[in-house]
Chains A and B, each alone.
Chain A
C-alpha cells in the first residue's frame, strides 16, 4: 500500500470513529428506480466489504464510507458496467481487501483449493481402506482352525 492510500485509510478510520449517530444501511434516497438494477446493486454490495467496519458488507453497514461505496456501485451500474467491471473498478481504487469473496488467484490457491483437495484425499483414503478391508477381510479358515471348529461343533453332540 502506498503512502497516499495509507493516509486516506487513516482519515477514513478517523472519520468512522468520530461518526457516532446510528443510521441504517441502505437509505431510501439511494434506491434505484429500476428494480433489476437495484437488485444487482444489492447483490454486489453484499460482496463488498465496508473498509472501516468490523467485518460488515457495505450493504449492512451504517458508515458514511459504505454509503459512498453503495452510491458508487449504483453509479457504475447506471453507467452500464457489468458486475465484473463494477468490482474491478472498486478494487482498482480500494485494493483486494474490499472483496469479501477473494479472487481465484495463485495467492488464494490454498484458500480455494483446501476443501476440494481435502475431500479428494479423504475420499481416496477411505476408498483405499475399504478395498484393503475387502481383501484383508476374514479369509477362509486354515486347517487348524477348521479342525478346532469341527471339534467344538462335534463336542455339542
Chain B
C-alpha cells in the first residue's frame, strides 16, 4: 500500500512541478505578483511529496518487500540494515529518485532562504528549477519506475551488487548528487538573469554560496568515490580516468572555474557574461554526466543500466536544457553589460588565466571521454582513450595552473605588481625547493618527477600560508596585533588559503604514490615473510569465515618492523556472495603515519601457496586528507558574513517589484 502511496506522491510532484515551471515565469513576464509567488509553496510542497515517495521506497527496502520489483532485484533479507537502506539508491531507478529528491531539496532551499531575493528573480529561478524537476520526474515515471509490483512475490531477493555493499554507498552517491544537482541552482540563476536581461554584483553574491556548497559536496563525493575504489577494487588505484569518474570530474573542473569567476564578478563586476556561461556549462556537464552514467552508453565499472529508451529520454532532456540555455545565452548575452576594467597583471587577470586553464582542462577531459563514442558512431571503429592519454594532456594543463595558484590571492585587484608578489613568495619558494631537494637526495635519486611534483605541492601549501602571514603582518607587528588582524580577516580569506593548501596536499599525495610506490608480488606458504620498505609481513594462515550474506577466506598476516618491533595483525580477505555468485576482494590496509601498507590476496598456486600482492603507498592518505582540507576551506568560506547576510539587506516590504538588486 505504502509503495502505491509513494508512486502517487511522485505523480503529484510531477503535476506540481509543471505548475512551478510555468506559473511563476508567466507571472514574471506579466509582472503579476500573485502568480510569481506560486513558486515558493510549489517548491516546498514538491519537495515534501518527493521525500514521501523516497521514504516509501526506502521502507520497502527496509522491510524486504519483494513484491516490489526493484527491491527484489536489488536486495536480500539477510543484508545488514545499513545496506538495505543504502541499497535504495544502489540501482538505476532508486538512484534517479535520489537525484530528483536532491533537486527538489535545492528548490525548496531557494524558496526558504531566497526570501530576500528580488521577487521576479526568485520566481524565475524557481520556475527553472521546476522545469528541470518535472523533466526528471517524468523520466522516472515513464522509463524508470521503482514502484512497479511483482506478482507473485518471490521469497527471496537477488541481492545488491557486492561491490556496493559498503559504507561507501552510504556516503558517495548522496554527496556526489548534492554536488551535481547543487549546480542546478547556479544554472537557474543564470537562466533567470538571461530572461530578465539584468545581472549585477548582487547576483554573483547570491549565486556564490550555492555554487560553493555544490562544489564542496562534489569535492567530497569525488574524494569519497576515489577512496572507495582504492580499498574495494583490490588493486590500490585511486583514479582510473574511467568515463564515469570523468563525468564527475567535468562539473568539478567547470564548477571550480565558476567559483573563481563569480568571485571576480562579485568583487569587481567583471567577467559577467563569462560567469553566466560557466554557470550554464557546469550544470550542463552535470546533466551530461547523468546521461553518460544512466543511459548505459559507456561500458565501465560503474554502469549498471543498459536500456536505450532511457538513453534517448535523457538525451532529449539534455538537448532541451543545454540547447535551450545556450540558445538563450546566444540571444540574450549581448543585453548583459560588460563589466569593470583591469590590467592583465592583476587578481582579475590571474583568475582569467585560471579560468582559461580550467576550461581547457575540462574540454580535454570531455573530448577524451566522448571521443570513443564519437569515433564509433561515425566510423564504426572502436578505439580506447585511457589513462595514458589523460596523463599526457591533462597533466601539462594542470601543472602550470598549480604553479601559479599562490600568485593569485597575493595580486592586487585591478593592477598588480608581479615582481613584488614574487618577492613576497620568495620564502615559500625556498621551502618548496628545499623539499624537492630533500626528496631527491634522501628519498629517491632516480625520480626527478617525484622531487619536482612534491616540491610543487609544498609550494602550494606554503603559498597559501604566505597569504595568511602577509595579511596578518606576522613578523612585522606585535603578536596581539597579529591575532587581532587574523580574527578580523574575512572568513573567505581563510577559505581560500585552506582550499589552496588542500590542493597542495592532494598534489603531494598523488605525486608521492604514483612515483615512489613499491610493490611485491609473492607466492606465500604459512610462515613465509616478505620484506617491503623496512617492514616485514609474515603470512600466518588462511581461515574460512561466514558473514551474514557471504563467505570469505581470511588471510591473517603479522606486521613488524625490520628492526623487530611488532606492529600487530593485518587481515585481508576474498569474499564470495552466493546470491549474485560474485567474488570481491577486501584489501588489508594498515595506515602508518601518512602512508599505507596495502595487502591483497590472489589465487592459490598448484603447490598450495597463496599469491599475495603487497604495496607500500607513501603519503597516499594525503590525497583524501587534502580533499577534506579543501572542503573545510569551502565550508569556512560559506560561513563568511558577506555570504550569510546576503545582499541586499532584506527590505521591510518586499513589495518593490523588479527593481531589486543593488545596481
Chain A residues packing against B (C-beta within 8 Å): 20-28, 31, 46-47, 49, 54-57, 60, 95-102, 107-108, 110-112, 114-115, 118-119, 122-123, 126, 130, 133, 137-138
Contact = CB atoms under 8 A, between A and B. Distances in A.
A123 to B, nearest CB: 6
Contact of A111 (B300, B344, B385, B574): B385
Nearest to A24: B602
B371 interface: yes
Contact of B300 (A46, A54, A101, A130): A54
B237 A60 contact: yes
A46 B388 contact: yes
Nearest to A102: B383
Nearest to A53: B301
A49 B386 contact: yes
Nearest to A137: B341
A96 B592 CA distance: 42
Given A55-B243, A107-B375, A24 B611 contact: yes
Contacts of B585: 22
Contacts of A56: 240
Contacts of B584: 22
B356 A23 contact: no
B521 A24 contact: yes
Chain A facing B: main interface SS? loop
Nearest to B601: A24
Contacts of A138: 341
Interface string B277-317: 00000000000000000000001110100000000000000
A54 B341 contact: no
Contacts of B388: 46-47, 100-101
Contacts of B344: 130
B384 to A, nearest CB: 5
B108 to A, nearest CB: 37
Contacts of B574: 22
Given A23-B603, A47-B386, A100-B385, 9 more contacts: A21-B583, A55-B243, A55-B299, A100-B384, A102-B371, A123-B356, A126-B356, A130-B344, A133-B342
Nearest to A119: B360
A14 B478 CA distance: 74
Contact of A20 (B364, B381, B581, B611): B581
B384 A102 contact: yes
B521 A55 contact: no
Nearest to B584: A22
The 6 closest A-B pairs by CB, nearest first: A100-B386, A24-B602, A101-B388, A115-B364, A22-B583, A97-B382
Contacts of B235: 24-25, 60
A51 to B, nearest CB: 9
Nearest to A122: B356
Given A20-B583, A60-B237, A102 B611 contact: no
A126 B352 contact: yes
Contacts of A57: 386-387
A8 to B, nearest CB: 14
B368 interface: yes
Contact of B397 (A22, A98, A102, A115): A115
A97 B237 contact: no
Interface string B216-233: 000000000000000000
Contacts of B341: 133, 137-138
Nearest to B371: A111
28 contacts: A22-B584, A22-B602, A23-B603, A24-B521, A24-B601, A24-B613, A27-B602, A49-B386, A57-B386, A60-B237, A95-B382, A96-B381, A97-B384, A99-B384, A100-B385, A100-B389, A101-B389, A101-B392, A102-B384, A111-B389, A114-B363, A114-B367, A115-B360, A115-B393, A118-B363, A122-B356, A122-B359, A130-B349
B523 interface: yes
Most buried by B among A27, A97, A102: A102
A123 B342 CA distance: 16
Contacts of A20: 581-583
Contacts of B73: none
A55 B387 CA distance: 10
B603 A21 contact: yes
Contacts of B522: 28
Contacts of B540: none
B33 interface: no
A47 B385 CA distance: 10
B546 interface: no
B344 to A, nearest CB: 5
A138 B234 CA distance: 62
Nearest to B519: A26
B383 A26 contact: no
Interface string B333-372: 0000000011010000100110011011101100110010
B196 interface: no
B379 interface: yes
B325 interface: no
A24 B301 contact: no
Contact of A108 (B349, B352, B383): B383
A56 B352 CA distance: 36
Interface in B160-208: none
A49 B582 CA distance: 23
Contacts of A97: 381-384
Contacts of A137: 341
Which of B353, B360, B368, B601 is most buried by chain A, counting CB atoms within 10 A of its CB?
B360
The interface centre, meaning the residue of B299, B300, B344, B384 with most chain A CB atoms within 10 A of its CB, is: B384
A104 B51 CA distance: 51
